[in-house]
Structure 1
């Protein structure tokens, strides 16, 4: 504990009459830490020396305070990414585990990087301008917007890292093994639309989608959703990303012919499209089923079933988050948000 904090502990407990628990809470310290410090200060009498360093038992630290501060600066500034990187740059004679313990003491924990789209300076500027244009929108306005996008679903689970809990020696039990099929086992690309009233139609994308197929999907599934909900196409405000198929001349001509309004969109902004969360909900529902699909046709059937069963209330919560999302983009000055 630093001399300054020792002085604050002494002042709060002895002069202000606060309890050990209240002092620990105010200083954001563990109660036992404050209790031990207070006890050692009492042993010195009524005028303790806050700078007194009592000799400690055990082996001295391998890293000096000065080097610790330097290591923390390297991590927080991005000059080093992890303990191994620090070892190479600053601590050639130390084991990475020793460096990890030091970083944990400074509350720098090892975590997996968040995957986010690349944002260059122009992207940040356009995202901030986009947010400024919609900062005044309430949920009542966002209700009129339909969110559309495509997503890929794998037959055998996620492309990313998968975790399990197991005991030593159980690594090859079936429940702890991730099945891998040659060439990935196949996947499906689907297009869907999300509305305030619930999920719209889900459309299976055949092969690699181009502008012609995209307009065909819109004619079938977007207008089909409008028909299901008894909405005129001219009343639709569609939110979609800036994929080349979405912004193609053919697609723009189709939207103009059908009198469908497009919501202006910012580049690299999947965090503003709430359908991304609906895809996550759908993926969890599919892979939590007791009997998982074993073929692409079964997967397509299951996707349609689970998509239709998405909770409307959960979807409305996503709509209600839109004003907060816009605020988050402004607060981040067009940078990354938690969404």
Structure 2
């Protein structure tokens, strides 16, 4: 996937694993030709068992827990937003998975993306770009969209480097690194504020970059342009 031009973030989203693990896998594959490190030997296993026994004994002796409960998978939320020249929708927060119904009713309709673009450019005088996710390309979704706007269909697979919104997510991710929300409600408030305070200059530069992205892809005969963005 990485050799095909997918970014670490894209691989992480598709496989639903952390970006840190993706980096480790890529490093292991490049250096050792496999995803995981060598299996631990008997000696290491013996040491681990001794350590586990020691911790259990210490816990019983001092009557205090040294174990911390931790959820195997942290709760995640999905965000959606759309940008164009002089157009920015509200940020849509989705809890759970997105199917066709959710995409049409809770994202497209709720964001007013079609109405906003129509008011700026006129009906059917602009093109709606989306990636190839199943809810985006389902028959029902495309029928709904094509009755209301021009849709760029099909969108080439494995091409996040062609989509300026991916760079916008990276910008937001950088802005959120030093934030430490205490709960989901606070996190949603912070991330919404980051989206709402993005400068128009940033959005404009990303939208205009589409022309250069297309020229680069043609120049490189379809190869990834991920190194340029």
Instruction: Mark the structure with the bigger radius of gyration.
Output: 1
How far did residue 226 of structure 1 move?
A: 0.9
- Indicate conservation of the 8 Å contact 1:237/1:261, yes or no: yes
- Give CA deviations for 1:158-198 in whole Å, capped at 9, x if unaligned: 74279xxxxxxxxxxxxxxxxx9533432211111012125
- Indicate conservation of the 8 Å contact 2:87/2:116, yes or no: no
Alignment of 1:42-81 (within 5 A): none
- Give the TM-score of the pair, scaled to structure 1: 0.44
- Give the TM-score of the pair, scaled to structure 2: 0.64
Matched, 1:160 2:160: no
Q: Structure 1 residues 280, 228: closer, same or farther in 2, change over 3 A?
A: farther
- Indicate conservation of the 8 Å contact 2:81/2:91, yes or no: yes
How far did residue 327 of structure 1 move?
A: 1.9
- The CA RMSD measured in Å over matched residues stands at 3.1
Matched, 1:190 2:50: no
Instruction: Provide the C-alpha distance between the structure 2 equivalents of 1:274 and 1:191, rounded to a whole number of angstroms.
Output: 14
Instruction: Provide the C-alpha distance between the structure 2 equivalents of 1:228 and 1:202, rounded to a whole number of angstroms.
Output: 19
- Give CA deviations for 1:90-120 in whole Å, capped at 9, x if unaligned: xxxxxxxxxxxxxxxxxxxxxxx888339xx
Partner of 2:159: 269
- Indicate conservation of the 8 Å contact 2:82/2:89, yes or no: yes
- From the two aligned structures, give the one with the greater helix fraction: 2
Q: Secondary structure at the match of 2:191?
A: helix
- Indicate conservation of the 8 Å contact 2:82/2:113, yes or no: no
- Indicate conservation of the 8 Å contact 1:236/1:261, yes or no: yes
- Indicate conservation of the 8 Å contact 1:201/1:225, yes or no: no
Greater mean alpha carbon deviation, residues 231-240 or residues 208-217: 231-240
Partner of 1:202: 91
Alignment of 1:129-278 (within 5 A): 159-160=19-20, 181-216=70-105, 217-223=107-113, 226=116, 232=122, 234-257=124-147, 259-264=148-153, 265-278=155-168
Partner of 1:308: 196
Instruction: Provide the C-alpha distance between the structure 2 equivalents of 1:323 and 1:313, rounded to a whole number of angstroms.
Output: 17
How far did residue 225 of structure 1 move?
A: 6.2
Q: Secondary structure at the match of 1:187?
A: coil
Q: Secondary structure at the match of 1:226?
A: helix
Runs (4+) off by over 4 Å: 227-233
- Indicate conservation of the 8 Å contact 2:92/2:111, yes or no: yes
Runs of 5+ in structure 1 lacking a partner? 1-112, 119-150, 153-157, 163-179
Runs of 5+ in structure 2 lacking a partner? 24-68
Partner of 1:293: 181
- Indicate conservation of the 8 Å contact 2:89/2:113, yes or no: no
Partner of 1:19: none
- Indicate conservation of the 8 Å contact 2:79/2:92, yes or no: yes
How far did residue 213 of structure 1 move?
A: 0.6
Alignment of 1:17-32 (within 5 A): none
Q: Structure 1 residues 181, 321: closer, same or farther in 2, change over 3 A?
A: farther
Partner of 2:173: 283
Instruction: Provide the C-alpha distance between the structure 1 equivalents of 2:75 and 2:163, rounded to a whole number of angstroms.
Output: 26
